[in-house]
Amino acid sequence: MFFFLYFLSRVEHPAAGYKKIFETVEELNEAIPAEITGDIPSWLGGSLLRMGPGLFEVGDEPFHHLFDGQALMHKFDLKDGQVTYFRRFIRTDAYVRAMTEKRIVITEFGTAAYPDPCKNIFSRFFTYCRGIEVTDNCLVNIYPIGEDFYAVTETNYITKVDPDSLETLKKVDLCKYLSVNGVSAHPHRDTDGTVYNIGNCFGKNMSLAYNIIKIPPRQKDESDPFEKSQVVVQLPSSERLKPSYVHSFGMTDNHFVFVEQPVKINLFKFLSAWGLRGATYMDCFESNETMGTLFHVATKDSGGYLSSHKFRTSAFNIFHHINTYEDEGFIVVDVCAWKGYEFVYNYLYMANIRQEWEEVKKAAMRAPQPEVRRYVLPLDIHREEQGKNLVSLSYTTATAVLNSDGTIWLEPEVLFSAPKQAFEFPQINYSRCCGKKYSFAYGLGLNHFIPDRIVKLNVQTKETWVWQEEECYPSEPVFVPTPGATEEDDGVLLSVVVKPGADRPGFLLVLDAVKLTELARAEVSTNIPVTLHGMYKP
């Protein structure tokens, strides 16, 4: 199996078909039928909803970063053995105004908007003085809150959508309800529908902190869940004016875990971006080369921050948590890590990932190395145990050592690593395993940042399974459990795959989650651009 992965590291893409997943497409007026090969399980009936960029330029103005393209919502419907595909652009302010003015109007993650050149010099000057508007371009993910569904990015704006018609319904400003400047695109959800998320906020005296928020489930009185949302706990920032970039966090039955990474948002740069010069969100990031990485832990029910538990480790980037759980007085944290303090997003500009294959590889060789890592955090700490490994779990080599200054130094166990081969966009059997001990994770395989395979990882044995097909570019695999399943991996994986040059270049792939063998594919005669995250709606 490891030989197989070594072989995969040499898979080449000289035809550069991956460029097709970064091309603009038009939305559809109606759902189109898919041609099915294989057998879709009879119990699989619902919708796979996906979010991603679908418009990569407005007129002659290109978007420069992968996270800039305008939000396109995709839906594969599975019903009575038939499959249809539909997509629509989300009518955000960013999209509507761009279409109306035929130019980029609102600054995105890596693309600056400039004043209308048709206006006179005084109008343009005052437009600069008003500064950058916060984007509502909700291209990253979609998730339910109460009975409703929201497309999201990482700002304070989320957009209510109809998961059936894909109609844009309402823009919601979370700042009206909670003390957050923005929230992550990866919330957690309890079995009762309660949603937890994390975002940074301004505290007293211009200090910064991270707030974990709680949005209750659907209310019996039909009141707005946002009206009853609250901050559960506040976590400190290691630097007063430089919060870390936050993309996800961990949650167990009893605790929250936040990993504070060395990729920082420079508040002075951020505020100056609202001044006279044209700047982007990417311009506000910098790396702290000396802080390493910190782990913060808080209790879930009482909202208490464990300030006495000071966990530290060497520098790494983190975007996605795989799972976090408690076992015998320890918190086990499995993450997709990128070694070092340099920001991985620096390598996701369109000019980089649209290059010819040899140039893509050269750029990726300069980027941080990806790994799947397991960290173990002891909850019971005694000062007399200085210098000893506090981790006593028999199934991991991860260590935690108490230093004389009271900090606990963590060393991880590496669960997966191969040269420039990332296991990313991880998924688990969430309803069964979130916050609990588990065995299997499913991920999108990135080959020098190009998505070209789907991987299943046994986090206990490190065994791997791979699905891959020549010139095919899949997306994040979504796990759907078989009804009444008794085994953790009894179910299917759903992934949207692009096969450039085929008669039907886009398809929904259905894999057996046990062996990663293909059960069926539903092909459509339209290209489908890259999608980032999404969900299955039964």
> At 124, which helix (H) or strand (E)?
helix 121-130
What value does the CA radius of gyration of the chain take, rounded to a whole number of Å? 23
In the numeric block, the tokens 């065994």 are attached to 463
Q: Which two tokens stand for residue 57?
A: 């330029």
Residue 320 in marked binding region: yes
Q: How many CA atoms lie within 13 A of 317 on its CB side?
A: 21
State CA 122 to chain mean position distance.
41
Cα gap 130→276, rounded to integer Å: 8
Residue 186 in marked binding region: yes
pLDDT at 121: 41
- Which residue, 414, 350, 408, 362, is CA-closest to 382? 408
Apex 249 CA angle, 243 and 251, nearest 5: 140
At 377 the three-state DSSP class reads: strand
Cα gap 325→255, rounded to integer Å: 9
Cα gap 462→211, rounded to integer Å: 34
Residue 303, classified by CB atoms within 10 Å of its CB into exposed (0-12), middle (13-18) or buried (19+), is middle
Contact 316, 245 (CB under 8 A): no
Residue 379, classified by CB atoms within 10 Å of its CB into exposed (0-12), middle (13-18) or buried (19+), is middle
At 536 the three-state DSSP class reads: strand
At 417 the three-state DSSP class reads: coil
Spell out the alpha helix ranges (H) of 26-82: none
> At 312, which helix (H) or strand (E)?
strand 310-313
Domains and CATH numbers, the chain: 43-465 (2.130.10)
Type of residue numbered 375: Y
pLDDT at 122: 40
φ/ψ of residue 443, rounded to 5:
-145, 165
- Which residue, 57, 158, 132, 153, is CA-closest to 98? 57
Q: Which two tokens stand for residue 74?
A: 């995709």
Distant-in-sequence, close-in-space partners of 89: CB < 8 Å, separation ≥ 6 = 27, 54, 55, 70, 71, 72, 73, 95
The segments of the chain whose pLDDT lies below 50 read: 1-9, 120-130, 276
Q: How many CA atoms lie within 13 A of 280 on its CB side?
A: 18
At 267-300, the pLDDT tens digits run: 888 777 655 457 899 999 999 999 999 999 999 9
Cα gap 93→167, rounded to integer Å: 14
Contact 333, 324 (CB under 8 A): yes
> At 149, which helix (H) or strand (E)?
strand 148-152
Apex 481 CA angle, 84 and 1, nearest 5: 100
Neighbours of 115 (CB within 10 A): 17
> At 433, which helix (H) or strand (E)?
helix 430-433
Q: Which two tokens stand for residue 353?
A: 């990932």
Q: Which two tokens stand for residue 31?
A: 């759902």
Cα gap 479→511, rounded to integer Å: 9
At 79-101, the pLDDT tens digits run: 998 999 999 999 999 999 999 99
pLDDT at 384: 72
Residue 430, classified by CB atoms within 10 Å of its CB into exposed (0-12), middle (13-18) or buried (19+), is middle
Strands, E, within 412-505: which ranges?
413-416, 421-427, 440-447, 450-458, 464-467, 478-481, 491-498
First to last CA, the chain: 34
Distant-in-sequence, close-in-space partners of 327: CB < 8 Å, separation ≥ 6 = 393, 437
Distant-in-sequence, close-in-space partners of 69: CB < 8 Å, separation ≥ 6 = 24, 52, 53, 54, 55, 56, 63, 139, 529
